[in-house]
Amino acid sequence: MHQSRVKVDYLTRVEGEGGIEILLDEERKVREIKVHIFEPPRFFEGILKGRRCEEVPDIVARICGICPVSYQMAALKALERILGIKPGRQVRLLRKVFALSQWIQSHSLHVFCLALPDFLGYDDIFQMAGKHRDLVERGLRLKKLGNDITSMLGGREVHPVSAVLGGFTKLPPRSLREDLITQLEARQEDAHAALEFIAGLALPAWEGERVFGALSHPEEYAIDEGRWRTSTGLSLAPEEFPDYVEEFQVSYSNALRCRLKDGPYYMVGPLARVRLNFEQLAPEAQRAALRLNLNFFHHNPYHSIVARLLEIVHAIEACCEYLEEAPEKEETISYEVKGGEAASIVEAPRGSLFHWYQLNERGFVQKARIIAPTTQNLHRIEQDLRELVPAIAGEPDGEIARSCAVAVRNYDPCISCATHFLTKIFHSVFSRPH
């Protein structure tokens, strides 16, 4: 037998441009595995330098068309810490609804349109819709619900514009918020029915352990407040995050990667959140998980699809609660521009999102650092392939490529988010795998 090079030139059903390359020797043993990221870098941290702090939330929202709210929330929280702004209860609760709207629409897009065809044996959602029309329609209704909430609070569905330092430029009247609660309650049946279906999927088995990381809060299922914890016992305030997590470069990727400084790669995202914060899920979400006998206390990454659906159930329930509790009277926040530095961590749909800013005394950005969820997952993804391929190396090359693409897609990677860094060896920035 000869060496075999298995390639996925372009990953499909993911955001951004990347591929997979696997080298097997004559005995079909793994010699090399690479997840290529050839999406061009976009230098967002450099773009932010010299911009006024008020401009930052709108600029960072352009990093991602799927989760712009998460980038806005992370920037606002870090900048407000520098400026000493403390939003009141109304803004804090409505921001949580705003952030959860991204979870609902992003999770719905990934589960129903991108990942579910893999687990049901279809090439895409259009094939799947032939036999599972009801399921697809449920997914599209949930996606629309998330979009509608984002639009109501943010002014538009993609790259919303109303979130500013201290709150929102304009908030919807109480009557529209009550209509939104009615819409949320109407979609609960879709979410529960879809969760029950997906809980019954025969997901691929997995052996091997991993470290999970997510924001945690003792009183709520953490979205934008709390400490960053790992399944190995690490507990960090946002400003401590860079002391324990390091970014590094590999020659075949335009995206940085992350690992804990004491060695292990880790996984962020819905599976990590559910595993670390199950007790803080909304009551109906917890009851549904227990009724369906869902188990998240293992290391099988394919259960991410179940965790995503469970988070949709949670998000709908939590949004209703936050909308009902948010005070009616709008808050007025005033502040004075000043210098300083601060960090924040929020939970984007794909996992923990870290922001850090340094402002001068006139409120202009001196330095910025952003670590996206996909940056943190990339090396864990490659490690997953190293654990997966030996078990399937005897299969035809095409089947190996398909299984590896499913394993990568399972993370819902957002490659564009991960390619925003500034410092890079330029001769490799514009290279492509051959």
pLDDT digits (tens, 9 = 90+) for 296-354: 988 999 999 999 999 999 999 999 999 999 988 777 788 999 999 999 999 999 999 99
pLDDT above 80 (res 137): yes
**C-alpha–C-alpha distance, residues 31 and 6, integer Å:** 12
Per-residue pLDDT, 424: 44
Residues 242, 384 contacting (CB under 8 angstroms): no
pLDDT above 50 (res 434): no
**C-alpha–C-alpha distance, residues 426 and 290, integer Å:** 51
**C-alpha–C-alpha distance, residues 55 and 341, integer Å:** 16
Q: Give 50: exposed, middle or buried? Use CB within 10 Å, 0-12, 13-18, 19+.
A: exposed
pLDDT above 60 (res 65): yes
Type of residue at 44 = F
Per-residue pLDDT, 427: 42
**Proportion of the chain above pLDDT 70, given as a percent:** 96
Per-residue pLDDT, 421: 56
Per-residue pLDDT, 41: 84
Mean pLDDT, residues 150-154 taken together? 95
Per-residue pLDDT, 420: 63
* Mean per-residue pLDDT over the chain, rounded: 93
pLDDT above 70 (res 428): no
Closest to 416 in 3D by CA, of 16, 10, 72: 16
**C-alpha–C-alpha distance, residues 217 and 225, integer Å:** 7
Mean pLDDT, residues 210-230 taken together? 97
Instruction: Give 3-31 pLDDT, tens digit per residue.
Output: 899 999 999 999 889 999 999 999 999 99
What pTM was estimated for this model as a whole?
A: 0.94
Residues 18, 413 contacting (CB under 8 angstroms): yes
pLDDT above 50 (res 365): yes
- Provide the angle, in degrees to the nearest 10, between the axes of the packed helices 89-108 and 304-325: 150
**C-alpha–C-alpha distance, residues 401 and 6, integer Å:** 6
Per-residue pLDDT, 43: 87
Least confident among 104-113, 252-261, 281-290, 300-309: 252-261
pLDDT above 70 (res 425): no
Per-residue pLDDT, 151: 95
Beta-sheet pairing, 266-267 with 211-216 = parallel
- Category of 125 on φ-ψ map: left (φ > 0), alpha (ψ -120 to 50) or beta: alpha
